[in-house]
Amino acid sequence: MTTARPAQPEQPPRLAPAVSDPDTGGFFAAAARGEVALRYCAGCGAVLHLPRAYCWHCGGWDTGYRAVPPRARVYSWTVVEHQVHPAYPVPYTVALVELAGEPAARLVTYLPGRAALHPGQELSARFERLENGTVLVQWRPADAEEEADDDAT
Ligand SMILES: [Zn+2]
């Protein structure tokens, strides 16, 4: 007879965004292809971030997604020490990043642990596939890219 150990709570899967939304679906479709994409107006070229179906600059409805370079810089960040959801064990870092090609477009990213970041630090995109198949764009320090790539091989 073995002694039963207390049941360990299973970590639930990470929360997945709605990827079929007509305004934001193109972002996730691009991520599934390994691209970072922003919504643009075909009429005037304005970046539409946060994404909308119409252009608030020229009023046009001819909008769509196009890929941007997968590079960004740290704008701000915080380390979460108080766990608020079982799928996100602490500590973890939430950072606001500004895209290298479109600094006015800022995205939020998740980094495990207490990430060593500094303002303006260069980041590169990585693509995280969730259990349900959704692909998220996440960011990591560019100088850690080679190390992480080495780990993957
Ligand atoms: Zn426009």
Residue 5 pLDDT > 90? no
Cα(40) to centroid(ligand 1), Å:
8
Cα(44) to centroid(ligand 1), Å:
4
- Chain centroid to CA 82: 21
**Average pLDDT value for residue range 30-41:** 97
CA distance 153 to 146: 11
Instruction: Residue 64: name the closest of 55, 56, 72 by CA.
Output: 55
| Tens digit of each residue's pLDDT (9 = 90 or more) over 51-100 | 999 999 999 999 999 999 999 999 999 999 999 999 999 999 999 999 99
Domain spans, the chain: 18-68, 69-153
CATH label, 69-153, candidates 2.30.30, 3.40.50, 1.10.150, 2.40.50: 2.40.50
Which of 89-93, 98-102, 141-145, 148-152 comes out lowest in average pLDDT? Answer: 148-152
Instruction: Residue 17: name the closest of 3, 32, 34, 5 by CA.
Output: 32
CA distances from 131 to 40, 96, 105, 106, 151 (A): 30, 24, 28, 26, 21
Cα(38) to centroid(ligand 1), Å:
14
Within 8 A by CB and 6+ apart from 149, the residues are none
